[in-house]
Amino acid sequence: MADLSTPETVVQELDARRSFLLEAGAGAGKTTDLVRALQHLLGHRRPELEASGRRIACITYTNVAKRKILERISADPLVTVGTIHEFLWSVIHDYQRELWQQLLTYNDTDLRSPENLTEVTTPPVIEYSDRGRKFSDGRISHDDVIALSLRLVAAHPKLIRIIASKYPIIFVDEYQDTSPKTIELLLDHLAGAGKEPCVIGLFGDSMQKIYRSGVGAVQHERLTTITKHQNYRCSRPVVDVLNQMRPELRQEAAGERQGGEVHLFLNTDTSPGPLRLDVARTFLATRGWSLDNTKYLMLTHRGIAGTLNYPNLLEQYRQLGSHGPDDLMARAEPYIQYLTQVEALSTAHHARDFVELNSLLAQGKRHITEHADKRTINEAIRELNAVRTTGTIGDVLDLLADSRVMAVPGQVRERERRRTASGLDERHQRQADFAHGLRDVPYREVTAVTQFIDALTPFSTQHGVKGDEFENVIVVIDDSAWTMYNIGKMLAGIDKPERTQRSRNLFYVCCSRAQRGLAVVFINDLSEGATRRAHHWFASGTVHP
């Protein structure tokens, strides 16, 4: 096997109908290999799949990965690309009677606070919903889909054969974030099942597990393990840092881009806090790092937001009280909630992500159903984009109120009405003053804050950066802000094993997004032990003490 390239090995396993695990570090080209494997299957097995009405399932977790894969296979209808929940639900939802039976025992035995279902005499139609669980109405949640699927196939083995014959090949991208229950379903039940044995292909990296619920490393007798040591994404100095972090899986820089730069900013001459980031940014700007070619990954508290590009917006939210800036960052205030939706709409339109676009329009009670609709919506969004770049927040709100491309939520409509009313009580007057001030802020600050908020949460599914890559990356760390992880303690080797692993994985994922330049900025002080280790890890770069 050593003589074959990774894609050749994958093809060999596929042709032999054997399940496999492709485990390799960041930037190794796992997603690329997955796409190549799909292309191979589509090239060689299309007639057979089409004739028998079979499909290939490809499970992904982030929109970035889903888009990338769909694009590269030209959204071929023979491949179903989606989340594990979408996939499982599509195969089990036809078995309503069996599902209801399983749901009753699941409710009684697995749930900490079971629902009282004794009064439900006629089973409702079971639906998988984002609105959370309510069994008596037939609503099941994300987690329930997986648990019920597992129960269902354990109770009805023939279902396994039905799934395996519909999906003889199932790939999972970023397998490390799959729940142990799903892995059990895939490997203990589906792998090898059916007349033409079902092949499971897992692609991922156990060290990039950053969700608690993920399985992490997987070993299973049914899997052939394939690995690789190239890193096609990162420049040589960045790969050197990754190798220090992860000596057990050394990579070689194999991409075209070999030259790059790495910086570690401790900036201890400056007082702890946002100023340390300012000093780093000023330095990097002299080396050509700009907002256009740099991605910020902020593992910091929300408070330092002011250093970026939305001073007026932040100032308005300060007027709401001490919680204002936090509400802005958490999108917990009606105006910013609405405006970030508007940003999502514009981004989806720009990226031609029609699935996302339709789902956003549907939230605003709009659907693209006919060609004329499409044209009207395209025109409205183009008009919106012009005002987004040059106008104020007030201009955008007025335009949206008229164009109705996205329905204005009730809470915003109410605030807009009250803005011009008289005789308001103190609380409502403050809200009205806030709304007035907000309307004068240049709208581009909303775009800036949205990008910033997305960068704040690199570990969340929706805004995940896993699978993504950027020319330059600045990782900003403030350990005083979080309890989930602590980079300083991880470096010093003095944290609990579980948190150490979480911190190391998150740090690894963030640093490995950089194609050319990587800068890590600590805005809090590090202990002596942590400083020593950090110097060691960044020996291939410049340390700014």
Ligand X SMILES: Nc1ncnc2c1ncn2[C@@H]1O[C@H](COP(=O)(O)OP(=O)(O)OP(=O)(O)O)[C@@H](O)[C@H]1O
> Does 28 interact with ligand X (rule: CB under 6 A)?
yes
Q: Between 426-439 and 311-318, two packed helices, what is the crossing angle to 10 degrees?
A: 170
Among positions 55, 85, 233, 263, the unique one binding ligand X when judged by CB under 6 A: 233
Of the listed pieces 30-38, 273-281, 316-324, 413-421, which binds ligand X according to CB under 6 A? 30-38
Cα 313 from chain centroid (whole Å): 26
Q: 3-state secondary structure string, 142-158? A: HHHHHHHHHHHHHHCHH
Binding site, annotated residues: 24-31
Q: Minimum Å distance from CB 246 to ligand X?
A: 12
Nearer to ligand X (CB atom), residue 317 or residue 507: 507
Q: Minimum Å distance from CB 334 to ligand X?
A: 36
Q: Minimum Å distance from CB 253 to ligand X?
A: 11
Of the listed pieces 45-53, 106-114, 452-460, 463-471, which binds ligand X according to CB under 6 A? 463-471
> Does 512 interact with ligand X (rule: CB under 6 A)?
yes
Binding site, annotated residues for ATP: 24-31
Number of residues near ligand X (by CB under 6 A): 16
Who's near 131: CB < 8 A, 6+ residues apart? Answer: 139
* Among 516, 509, 476, residue whose Cα is nearest residue 253: 516
Among positions 237, 467, 517, 541, the unique one binding ligand X when judged by CB under 6 A: 467
Contact string 270-289 vs ligand X (x = CB under 6 A): --------------------
Q: Is residue 56 within 8 Å of residue 458, measured between CB atoms?
A: no
Q: Between 444-456 and 371-390, two packed helices, what is the crossing angle to 10 degrees?
A: 100
Of the listed pieces 23-31, 262-270, 321-329, 497-505, which binds ligand X according to CB under 6 A? 23-31
Nearer to ligand X (CB atom), residue 64 or residue 120: 64
> Does 263 interact with ligand X (rule: CB under 6 A)?
no
What is the 3-state composition of the chain as percent helix, strand, coil, each rounded to the nearest 5?
50, 15, 35
Residues 256, 508: Cα–Cα separation, whole Å: 22
Among positions 14, 29, 308, 406, the unique one binding ligand X when judged by CB under 6 A: 29
Q: Minimum Å distance from CB 33 to ligand X?
A: 7
Return the residues of window 359-418 that contact ligand X according to CB under 6 A: none
* Among 183, 254, 235, residue whose Cα is nearest residue 32: 254
Residues 150, 156: Cα–Cα separation, whole Å: 10
> Does 26 interact with ligand X (rule: CB under 6 A)?
yes
Q: Name the token pair of 292.
A: 């256009």
The dihedrals phi and psi of 153, each to the nearest 5 degrees, come to -70, -30
Binding site for ligand X (CB under 6 A): 26-32, 205, 208, 232-233, 255, 466-467, 469, 512
